[in-house]
Amino acid sequence: MKQPGSASDPLWYKDAIIYELHVRAFMDSNNDGIGDFQGLIDKLDYVQDLGVTCIWLLPFFPSPLRDDGYDISDYMSVNPSYGTLEDFKRFLEQAHNRNLQVMIELVINHTSDQHSWFQRARHAPKGSPERDFYVWSDTDHLYQGARIIFTDTEKSNWTWDPEAQAYYWHRFFSHQPDLNYDNPQVLEEVLRIMRFWLDMGVDGLRIDAIPYLVERDGTNCENLPETHAVMKRIRKAIDEEYAGRMLLAEANQWPTDVRPYFGDGDECHMAFHFPLMPRIYMALRQEDRLPITDIMAQTPDLPENCQWGIFLRNHDELTLEMVSDDERDYMYLAYSADPRMRINIGIRRRLAPLVDNNRRRIELLNSLLFSFPGTPILYYGDEIGMGDNIYLGDRNGVRTPMQWTADRNAGFSRAIPARLYSPVVMDPVWGYQAVNVESEQSDPSSLLNWMRNMIALRKLFQVFGRGRLTFLHAANRKILAYVREDENEKILCVANLSRFAQPVELKLEAYEGMVPVEMLGYVEFPRIGSKPYPLTIGPYGFLWLELQPAPSVEAGETARALVLQVAGASDWMSILEGNGRREMEETLLKDFLERQRWFGGKSHSIAGVTIEDWAQMEGASWALALVEVVYAAAPPETYLLPMATSFGAAAAALREEHAGSVIAQLASGEEEGVLHDALFDPAAGRALLEILSTGGVLRSRKGLIRGLPASRLASLLDGVDGSPPPRVSSAEQSNTSLLFGDKLILKLFRRQQKGPNPDTEIGRYLTESSQFPNIAPFGGSIERQRDGEEPSTLAMLQGLVRNQGDGWLWTAEELDRYYEACVPQAFPWNALPQARPEVRPGLLELSEMPESEAAREHVGAYLDAASMLGVRTAEMHLALAAPTSEPAFAPVRMSRQDAERLRQEFVDHGGGAFDALKESLSRLPDGVVELAGLVLSRRRQAIDRFLQIPAHDLQVLRTRIHGDYHLGQVLRVKGDFVILDFEGEPARPLEERRTKQPPLKDVAGMMRSFSYAAFAAVNRHTARRPGDFQKLEPWARLWELSATSAFLRGYRERVKGLDLVPAAPAVFEQILAAYLLDKALYELTYELNNRPAWVRIPLSGILALLP
Amino acid sequence: MAKLELPEETRARVEAAGEADLLIAIPAALRPDQVRAEAERALAHLATTGDYARLRTVVSYPGEAGAANGNEAVPEAESAAGPRFLPYAPPAAQLSAISSISWLAPAATYRFLFNLAAELKVKAMAVAAPDLALLQTNSLGSLVAPTLDGGWDLAMPVYPAGKLEGLLNSSILSPLPRALYGRRVRFPLAQDFAVSARMVSASAQPRSLPSPEAHSLFWPATEAVLRGCKICQVPIGVHRVNAAEGIDLSTVLGLTVGPLFGEMETHAALWQRIRGAEPVGGAGSPAPAPEDGAAADPRSMLETFQLGFRNLQEIWSMVLPQATLLELKRLSRLSAEQFRMPDDLWVRIIYDFALAHRLRTISRGHLLGALTPLYLGWVAAHVLEIGSAYPAEAAQRVERLARAYEDGKPYLLSRWRWPDRFNP
């Protein structure tokens, strides 16, 4: 009967900790000197107590044992030395009862030459199905491209068989003939074997020597497409017939070559990360993190359901196949002084001897193993620091009996020592008298107890198995620092690879405000601020720090301690004046603000918060307040804060569902309630809409708040009454929006600045005065006028536009399809010479370049969209440049002073960007350092480019413009575009955002956005297939050039003959080029501060502009 | 979807019963003969509230087919509003040691009831203690309304209790889960509670659970936190005291605190992420606290504590750190008038016992036996402290202890994660 697997989570292997052991070496129950299944069952409590979750059994099948059991002579039985099939089943049941999964070996590349299939093949006639179970040849010259793996013992991959009168193929020892997967019967037999074990309930299968399954002449006979086809068949059979099982690939290859064994999540679930292991040892010895960060940079992302298997040591040699010759020489010198320690291309030693039995080094390496992305695999005995015996042959020195006690034979067996399958380790340092389980169990400070605690700790944090990894590039390369994170958890890991204490400063701005909590002892560290975070780590020390959100704790504590007494739901005097006001200003508002996503002052230290002004509607349970935040070292800011009170079940629901919106606890007589952000109160949302739509007026303490409906409001309100209660949109960052069904969006501008908000101002102007139709319909606004001051905008109402996504997402999807289609094709250089990097068309040339047939064939309909976007952009500019009596919108000519000021601004911005790049050079990812150097060498050229703008009357028009124009600011709507968000860059002062500027600034913004879209999509694609970068680069250039050209063409044609942009081609080109460069340098500064991994895009953009 | 785990016989009865709106589930029927009458009466009262007049209700309790006074296993309801009765064969796990306390049923039994409710596709399930007091006191409506109409997934009862009643609950069973799982639930091991269809569906299990669940208890609030369900508390007029009468205290501790410690191991990854504790939703007015019976005599409890200090030092020293032992030594010398157990000391004792339970420092039975004199010491101190206090003051005292559990949680975390004996 088919037994189910033991794990309930189908992704169990992602959280697993695997313990690799050999039945023969673990425990002997019948005193014959050889470990057996009954012995293993007796020791399952030990394995469970260690905390590992999965047992990986090395081959236990009948075998001549000439390769430690990897030479199998019968796949569907148990080697009698280890027990019977019934013993195995009992073991499986006992393991499952302890919630331990079990993985066994599926050696399918080869069999033993004693297997009945091979004996039958030797005697079968040439060409018969029986003979064809293996790979035969009349000559040993076939497959010359295949390397020899066991160089110490084998001289050829072919061996002559006198019986068959032919050569047979073997990638490993000559007694291990390779199976022939060109014979369909072979795969059928393999599937039959697989089902035999999976039916018993085995949870995982390790597929040995996976790259070598299929051979083809003219290749190196590794990783061939036919091999992947075999693996897909095996996986398909598992998925169809079993649940919760796992395939682990053994492919000693580079990560990019292993990546295909995961397929699209439809080959193996796991694969070993072989090259990481030697590099961990290299980094330790060199006291330099580079070997590790270097190999991790070459490690591609995996499909969601896949996982790396990582390890420090295993039953084989520490393989050095995946290192360079120099690195191999270094490793031999560093870790195998005695030549006996070397075998094949590797080092045959256990973990503890490799690091000279230094406890801190062992702990450090295990801390890396447990915190790196992947499932850690422990080799039996390494948890107690077992040694090896380099005087035993092959790799047997690391396969000696487990050392249980200081008794005879290390407690492994009661047999006479001479009968043991292998001598136990007996020397004074590593011998079983000194290193054994029993003594370490009774020693609270033993390595075994340390390992047990670390394993238990790791199991508490799923992020170790499933989260992302980001390296922090600290200046001190002896420190390896990285963050593991997912949606729920963030863990900072810091390791000192040096034998001396090391200082380090970590750039943790992305985690500002969080509190690192040391995970082993639950010790709180100082809060992360805006400056680099200093740490000192002892010799070979490591820290695991859980980054916890601090403000919510403080707020929670405060909320617990403070209860504001009110006399009813509308008693705002008690909250916003008197004692309530004092509590609000001293404690509650600060705590609340720091928890809000829209609060922009998180990076500054708050010196004080005051309620600047407030208003309420008579008898209402909500009020509008403006709070001023004073910082210790930054100008003050004012924020809009609508507040409401709720009691009873409504209050409980708010605490439960929107805990972050709670400002304070309230008490009204016996009733308990909360003071909270009013936007989570549907009544308050409706009241705001009412004020806006009716032109309602509220008197505040210091002025007036009034609704200003727009002419189109009536049509927009149609049907809103019946829509569901307003809800808070989750999309906003710096503001908050309320959605009224799918009809309206009311955007509240949280940070208040004096003067009209440009978004409202332009929205109203384009709707009421110029009739530009391609914007979201403007419904009106709520403004506040403080006595004697210019009005400021509190909120703006717009109609929601049905769309196919914003321009960025829509373009990203188009590009994903484009690259998928392009990858298999050779780039048509002849048809598209303009895509060569050395060909750099000028901007005017670009706008006049006719659309080529080849570009149309590949880029397709997107060209029409880009052209349409050019036209709509021009129309927006024309609408904003139309003659008007409104001073805020009347276009003006750029004066000589304006030109000089612009030139100086460009120079200042550019200089700042180059300084930032220079300062960040040592922290940049290795792959972009050269590019950054090239850009730095163009500093003079860039400044000259700006200085070339002539300081005389340029005949350039300055108008109101969009100001922050890119693909994310437009919506794709039924083959057309709608332009959104005229707020400008929110970080800049309002006055600057309302300044009139040449429209070409917007044109440059959109052109850079095309470039970003093209290369961001390449990044996405190559994250899955790193090898495709070279192939995709010309395709990306083609797309960018074609889209930009179409956009510019559309724009110029629409403004042709109109006085919007400079008529003189040279001035047009000069201004546009300057804006492009300015924008690219702005992007560079932004990426350096926020997303160093993206810095390649602006760097390439700058180089393209400064050839 | 995989079939939920139900015995074939029960499944056949469920299929015959069809779908229902409300399941009233009784985990152990002490008085099966009364189940029908009490359920009909309670449902008739529920129907008077109007909204619930047409609820299709099934009442399920352990028993053989036809056990309900000779009725059919699944009798047709006499009217559209009448309940249907569904006796079920108790799962084997019910026969575990836990059942020696009448009001406790193992987690496996509750899991079985969730599966039953899921198969019946109910809108809500009310679990009623076997004494049927929930039905007799007309409290059924208060408990099920929040799950049927109020948007809550779990309604937990707040029982009226005198200031000297329910001390095991006040000292360990309530504040410990509250600090661990972050929900302020007053009676987390309540025998009466109601759950929504959402929680039924989230908690039903398609396959057999590992055998340890037979020996563990069901903590509805913990289950709700695990499944992301919303909890509220409802005052009900059922007075429950001295439910463990006749059973020695060590057994009670072993059967209640032991499983609670066991749950900590299972859900370590969850509770170690939770900081602080939030109030849960509430509805209804609390019933007045009943008068306390005769005042307990703390002196005999104090003597047991002092005797424990003399005899159990060796065991305590394997569990508790030196600083705690020193404080206990000081306490053991105090007279009854002076005797007070500081909250932080008690909290650390419980946390260290929880850790020793996880590490199996000594046999778990002996461990919980060694907790008994310490618990009596706490009870003695509590009685001495609040004996003459007003009920409200006593409630505040219990709340202060619960806060001490929350404040002491970092101590538990550090000990749990790195259980080195070489500590202060």
Res A950: pLDDT: 77
B280 vs A contacts (CB less than 8 Å): 652, 656
**Chosen from A656, A657, A658, A661 to mutate, greatest number of chain B CBs within 10 A:** A656
Is A482 inside any structural domain?
yes
Q: Give the end of a domain, one of A124, A145, A169.
A: A169
Q: What is the CATH number of the domain that holds A516?
A: 2.60.40.1180
DSSP letters for A804-851: S-BHHHHHHHHHHHHHHHHTTSPP-TTT-GGGSTT----HHHHHHPPP
Q: Which residue has the tokens 């400070």?
A: A445
The pLDDT of residue B77 is above 50: no
For residues A21 and A130, state if they share a domain: no
CA distances from A440 to A28, A50, A267, A405, A453 (A): 21, 12, 41, 9, 13
pLDDT in tens, A627-655: 999 887 778 899 999 999 998 888 888 88
Say whether A659 and B278 touch across the interface (CB within 8 A): yes
Say whether B417 and A456 touch across the interface (CB within 8 A): yes
For residues A382 and A498, state if they share a domain: no
Q: Give the end of a domain, one of A748, A768, A799.
A: A799
Say whether B272 and A456 touch across the interface (CB within 8 A): no
Residues of chain B with CATH 3.90.550: 8-282
Interface of chain B against chain A, CB under 8 Å? 150-151, 207, 210-211, 230, 232, 268-269, 272-273, 275-276, 278-283, 410, 413-414, 417-422
For residues A612 and A721, state if they share a domain: yes
For residues A576 and A536, state if they share a domain: no
Tell me which chain A residue has its CA closest to the CA of residue B209. Answer: A8
Tell me which chain A residue has its CA closest to the CA of residue B271. Answer: A460
The Cα B75–Cα B71 span in angstroms is 7
For residues A612 and A735, state if they share a domain: yes
Please state which of the ranges A143-152, A813-822, A920-929, A1043-1052 shows the lowest mean pLDDT.
A920-929
Q: Which residues contact residue A1056 at a Cβ distance below 8 angstroms, ignoring those fewer than 6 apart?
A: none
The third-level CATH classification (topology) of the domain covering B8-282 is: Spore Coat Polysaccharide Biosynthesis Protein SpsA; Chain A (3.90.550)
Res A555: pLDDT: 44
Single-letter residue type at B203: S
Distance (Å) from the alpha carbon of A556 to chain B's nearest alpha carbon = 8
- pLDDT tier at A399 (50, 70, 90 boundaries)? very high
For residues A401 and A435, state if they share a domain: yes
pLDDT in tens, A19-72: 999 999 999 999 999 999 999 999 999 999 999 999 999 999 999 999 989 999
b (16+ CB within 10 A) / e for A318-357 = bbbbbbeeebbebbbeebbeeeebbbbbbbbbbbbbbbee
For residues A591 and A728, state if they share a domain: yes
Residues of the domain holding A145: 116-169
**Chosen from B265, B272, B403 to mutate, greatest number of chain A CBs within 10 A:** B272
Single-letter residue type at A403: Q
Contact between A870 and A1050 under an 8 Å Cβ cutoff? The reply is yes
Say whether B410 and A522 touch across the interface (CB within 8 A): yes
Segment A1068-1082 mean pLDDT: 91
Q: For residue A360, how many C-alpha atoms fall within 13 Å in the half-sphere facing its CB?
A: 15
The Cα A177–Cα A384 span in angstroms is 37
Tell me, yes or no, if A71 is annotated catalytic: no
For residues A155 and A188, state if they share a domain: no
Instruction: Give strand pairing partners of A547.
Output: A516
pLDDT in tens, A343-376: 888 899 999 999 999 999 999 999 999 999 999 9
Say whether B417 and A522 touch across the interface (CB within 8 A): yes
The interface pTM score, or ipTM, of the predicted complex is: 0.79
Say whether B418 and A488 touch across the interface (CB within 8 A): no
Which secondary-structure segment (H or E) carries A275? none
Q: Which residues contact residue A615 at a Cβ distance below 8 angstroms, ignoring those fewer than 6 apart?
A: A623, A624, A698, A699, A700, A701, A705
The helix/strand/coil state of A363 is: helix
Res A356: pLDDT: 94
Distance (Å) from the alpha carbon of B271 to chain A's nearest alpha carbon = 10
End-to-end CA distance of chain A: 71
Is A1072 inside any structural domain?
yes
Higher pLDDT, A327 or A349: A349
Structure tokens at B49: 């509230």
For residues A376 and A344, state if they share a domain: yes
Contact between B381 and B166 under an 8 Å Cβ cutoff? The reply is no
Single-letter residue type at A131: R
Contact between A347 and A331 under an 8 Å Cβ cutoff? The reply is yes
The Cα A401–Cα A44 span in angstroms is 16
The Cα A592–Cα A588 span in angstroms is 6
Asked whether the CA dihedral A1084, A1090, A1096, A1098 is positive or negative, the reply is negative
SS (H, E, C) B368-390: HHHHHHHHHHHHHHHHHHHCCCC
Tell me, yes or no, if A208 is annotated catalytic: yes
**Chosen from A46, A48, A460, A661 to mutate, greatest number of chain B CBs within 10 A:** A460
- pLDDT tier at B9 (50, 70, 90 boundaries)? confident
The Cα B250–Cα A274 span in angstroms is 55
Number of domains in chain A: 5
- pLDDT tier at A554 (50, 70, 90 boundaries)? very low
The Cα A445–Cα A443 span in angstroms is 5
Contact between A370 and A339 under an 8 Å Cβ cutoff? The reply is no
CA distances from A778 to A705, A805, A891 (A): 19, 20, 23
Q: Give the end of a domain, one of A524, A552, A580.
A: A552
Q: Which residue is catalytic, options A68, A178, A250, A981?
A: A250
- pLDDT tier at B246 (50, 70, 90 boundaries)? low
For residues A747 and A635, state if they share a domain: yes
Contact between B156 and B188 under an 8 Å Cβ cutoff? The reply is yes
Res A953: pLDDT: 64
Contact between A405 and A47 under an 8 Å Cβ cutoff? The reply is no
Is A434 inside any structural domain?
yes
Mean pLDDT of chain A: 90
Say whether B276 and A488 touch across the interface (CB within 8 A): no
Q: Which residue is catalytic, options A208, A316, A814, A875?
A: A208
CA distances from A960 to A90, A765, B76 (A): 80, 11, 78
Say whether B422 and A655 touch across the interface (CB within 8 A): no
Contact between A961 and A799 under an 8 Å Cβ cutoff? The reply is no
Model pTM score: 0.64
Interface of chain A against chain B, CB under 8 Å? 4, 8, 97, 99, 444-445, 453, 456-457, 459-462, 488-489, 519-523, 548, 553, 556-557, 560, 649, 652-653, 655-656, 659
Say whether A553 and B232 touch across the interface (CB within 8 A): no
B150 vs A contacts (CB less than 8 Å): 649
- pLDDT tier at B69 (50, 70, 90 boundaries)? very low
Distance (Å) from the alpha carbon of A592 to chain B's nearest alpha carbon = 17
- Highest mean pLDDT among A742-756, A817-831, B271-285, B289-303 belongs to A742-756
For residues A668 and A770, state if they share a domain: yes
Is A851 inside any structural domain?
no
Say whether B276 and A557 touch across the interface (CB within 8 A): yes
B230, B281, B414 member nearest A522 (Cβ) = B414
Distance (Å) from the alpha carbon of A305 to chain B's nearest alpha carbon = 21
Contact between A415 and A32 under an 8 Å Cβ cutoff? The reply is yes
The helix/strand/coil state of A59 is: coil
DSSP letters for A1029-1069: HHHHHHHHHHHHHHHHHHHHHHHHHHHTTSSSS-SSHHHHH
DSSP state, residue B172: I
The Cα A885–Cα A790 span in angstroms is 19
For residues A643 and A513, state if they share a domain: no
Res B92: pLDDT: 60
